[in-house]
Amino acid sequence: MRQDMGNVIGAKKAQGASKPPHDTVTFLKVILDQESQEQENKVPLYWEDDFRQFLRDKNQTGVLHCMEFCLDVERVQRMIQEEDHADTDRKRQEARTARLKKMQEIGQIYLFSGGTKPIPMQNQVNREDLRDDLKDLSLDNMNEVNKELKAAKIDRLVWKDG
């Protein structure tokens, strides 16, 4: 998924948009950081939409799906951090339930047969194991499955071929 982001700033630069990052890892981090900011502090990331449209126009939907998979896995990691910092048991339980739903959603979208955004993985055995574990996901085995998700995020085909 290593992409040269090129000049995707476009004509909207004059409206106060920031410059896009030059590498994919920073690109993903900036998107996630932007999502976590409060609404009044957000600066529109026009280049994010431009880059997504560029991938669609170049018929590189596989790369787009891999990018979205990586973003979703990172969102789960941030949900874990929020869960750890929850100040009441009720909030912690709500965060765990939300994380469970998000992980199941990742499986349905990216790993299950007939998913809307299938991603390639080099290790098909790990892919099938992860798919099965996400299908049988419960609150008890979420931490183990999370480790598998993080391993899938760094799979060679997710980053290279996309």
85-122 tens-digit pLDDT: 989 999 999 999 999 999 999 999 999 878 899 998 88
Q: Which residues, including other chains, have CB under 8 Å from residue 69's CB and lie 6 or more apart?
A: 106, 110, 117, 119, 152, 153, 158
Among 155, 111, 157, CA closest to 132 = 111
Q: Which residues, including other chains, have CB under 8 Å from residue 119's CB and lie 6 or more apart?
A: 62, 65, 66, 69, 110, 111, 157, 158, 162
Residue 149, CA distances (Å) to 3, 26, 43, 88, 111 in order: 22, 20, 30, 27, 11
pTM comes to: 0.80
Amino acid at 111: L
Amino acid at 132: D
Check residue 59 and give left, alpha or beta (phi > 0: left; psi -120 to 50: alpha): left
Q: Distance between CA 83 and CA 60 in Å, rounded?
A: 35
Q: Distance between CA 54 and CA 87 in Å, rounded?
A: 42
Among 69, 99, 106, CA closest to 84 = 99
User: Span 54-63, mean pLDDT?
Assistant: 90
User: Span 39-65, mean pLDDT?
Assistant: 80
User: Span 148-154, mean pLDDT?
Assistant: 91
Q: Output the pLDDT for position 10.
A: 47
Residue scoring higher pLDDT (26 or 150): 150
% of the chain surpassing 70 pLDDT = 81
